[in-house]
A and B are shown apart, each in its own frame.
Chain A
Amino acid sequence: MSAAARVFALVLGVSALGPAAARAQQVPPAQAIEQARIQLDELRPDSALSLLRYALDPRAGAGVRERLRGFTLLGIAELVGGRRAEARQAFRQALALDPELRIDSLADLHSDLRPTFEAERASLARATQLAIVLEIPSDTSVQVLGGGFRVTALPSRRAMLLLSIARPTGEEVFADSQAANGITSFDWNLRGAGGAVAPAGRYVLRVLARDSVGQSSFQERTLTIELEPLDTVPLPPALDPSRLAPETTAVRQRKPAPLLRGLLFAAGAGLLAYTGPGPSGSLDSRAWAVSAALAAVGVAGYLSGTMVRLPNPAGVERNRSVREQDAAQRTAITESNDRARERARVHIRTTTRTP
């Protein structure tokens, strides 16, 4: 007697004796399933059915993989036996365990296997809509520098998840996608495409799931981002020129040259007075008038002098000190503000989006 025949006989025997006897015999479900596969190859569907019912009995303790294979073979056995409804029921149970199950390697066992199986898959997909469960903190505070906002999504079956965060106007600030077959997380660093922190305001978070058969589903939330107040200090106004000392000193310089030139021209006009055509040979007083004007302008030019600006080293030094103090104060404030910004946080509230 072959090993298969022994297993088969044993299974039949323990089945007849009851579950307690089967458990006592300790026939592994995997072994029974493999024997059922052989029975199908040998076109003995009824034998295969007996082995599979034994293996799929909850008391047999079959694992998920064994149950998956067991229900698949059970459906094939029912199909070979001409019981199409029972076959589809078995396929449905297999697909419930793995919606992506493929039966390509078993297609030779029955000509209607593939269409029957796919029809059941489609029927099941129609019956069970793709769904997403989002897990998003409803009210949280996130540090801008190095922090992130986590969105967790769980599709009801394997699907491609597309996450987008956009302004209500449609301007997208963040997008990501992942193939998901369970809990999947997205992390947003609070920054837009340009790298800048997203400004405060309302955003629309949307998670779209699309499965392999084209079904899709989405969830939307409204994110309200508020910048938490920063403890920063405003920079002081630009240095007031009134705080600066004059860096030059205006000095009036009197040089004798204008006086000498004026007097020289005045002397020339005076000479003309002696030779001018005065009445009856007297001096021509008009030349004296010109002479006096030239002399007066020369004296005035000397007295008014010229204003020249001379460097004022004390003022320059004082201003340098004032400017350095101002620069140091600005640097300290800027550094303090930078540190405050590094600690900055944003407050994010999540609400269900209403159209």
Chain B
Amino acid sequence: MRAARVLVLALLIGAPLAAQERGVRAGAVAYFASLGSASQKGYQSGTWVGLEGQVAKGRLALGVRGLRGTLGGDPVREDRDARQTDAWLTVRIQPWLQIGARGKAVAVSTSLANSVWRMYGAGASFSSAIGTPRLRGWADVAVYPITAVVASQNLGTPRSAEVGLAYRPSSAPVEFRFSYLLQTIDFKGALDQRLGGLLLVVRSAGR
């Protein structure tokens, strides 16, 4: 229910933003996240919500996304509050290809500790229309070789991948995105965490 309320709120915020200048995009994000590990049993999930915005000029685009939520439901682990911030600066090489620099910060808080992971790297996005220009599929991959950790184990090389579908209705300057986002965070102590889930975005349909 909380997710639904936040999504409605985000739509109310995103719709006016959708009417803004074409070079500016803004929207609401809901992330139905799950955190698990290939090497450990246990599974936590929760709903994160937030906002994203992007400014584009020519081939360049600068964007940021903020998410906040919880992870819980594992009887052997304490529930956590989580925040995630993503930032990107991309350049469009081809109509179907964008590459650029990425930055990501993940903060996880429990009653015992607050851990912050900061990651910097590069990524590429591929997109293409599928049958009709209003429906596009896209994939995004990124690696973060530069990391900084506060109050937690050092990281290996985090990676993220996202594949999804975007739809622009003809009746409104809005874009709906439906994707699966997987973030793999390897710790040098061999503990790997996989944060994945459905990502729903409603944003203005700018350039």
Contacts and interface: CB of A to CB of B under 8 A. Distances in A.
Nearest to B135: A297
B163 A290 contact: yes
Contacts of B34: 276-278, 284
Interface string B165-198: 1000000000000111010100000000011111
Nearest to B193: A277
B12 to A, nearest CB: 26
Contacts of A281: 36, 38, 41
B180 A290 contact: yes
A139 to B, nearest CB: 74
Contacts of A302: 131
A289 B163 CA distance: 11
B64 interface: no
A280 B194 CA distance: 12
Nearest to A262: B130
B131 A304 contact: yes
A276 B182 contact: yes
A298 B198 CA distance: 20
B196 to A, nearest CB: 4
A335 B195 CA distance: 86
A304 B139 CA distance: 24
A279 interface: yes
A272 B180 contact: yes
B163 A277 contact: no
A278 B195 CA distance: 10
Q: How many B residues touch the partner, as a band?
A: 20 to 34
B30 to A, nearest CB: 13
A255 to B, nearest CB: 9
Contact of B130 (A265, A286, A289, A290): A265
B176 to A, nearest CB: 12
Nearest to B179: A290
Contact of B32 (A261, A286, A300, A301): A286
Interface string B33-59: 011111001010000000000000000
Interface string B135-152: 101110000000000000
A297 B130 contact: yes
B192 to A, nearest CB: 10
Interface string B120-160: 00000000111110010111000000000000000000000
Q: How many A residues touch the partner, as a band?
A: 20 to 34
Interface string A281-306: 10010110111011001101110100
A138 interface: no
A246 interface: no
Contacts of B41: 280-281
Tell me what chain B mostly uses at the interface: helix, strand, loop, or mixed: strand
A258 interface: yes
Nearest to B164: A290
Nearest to B73: A279
A278 B36 contact: yes
A215 interface: no
A169 B38 CA distance: 105
Contacts of B105: none
B161 A272 contact: yes
A277 B182 CA distance: 8
A278 B34 CA distance: 8
Given A261-B130, A262-B130, A290-B180, A284 B196 contact: yes
Contacts of A278: 34, 36, 43
B36 A261 contact: no
A268 interface: yes
A278 B194 CA distance: 9
A287 B196 contact: yes
A329 interface: no
Nearest to B194: A277
Contacts of B198: 286, 289-290
A290 B178 CA distance: 7
A275 B165 CA distance: 20
A123 B184 CA distance: 135
A287 B180 contact: yes
Interface in B36-90: 36-38, 41, 43
B137 A265 contact: yes
Interface string B8-43: 000000000000000000000000101111100101
A289 B197 CA distance: 11
A269 interface: yes
Residue from A276, A279, A304 with most neighbouring chain B CB atoms (10 Å):
A276
Contact of A261 (B35, B137, B197): B137
B131 A286 contact: no
Interface string A36-67: 00000000000000000000000000000000
Interface of A: 258, 261-262, 264-265, 268-269, 272-273, 275-281, 284, 286-287, 289-291, 293-294, 297-298, 300-302, 304
Given A275-B194, A294-B163, 4 more contacts: A286-B180, A286-B196, A294-B164, A297-B131
Q: Can you list the 4 inter-chain pairs with the closest CB atoms, starting with the nearest?
A: A301-B131, A277-B36, A265-B137, A258-B131
7 contacts: A261-B128, A262-B137, A286-B32, A287-B180, A290-B165, A294-B164, A297-B165
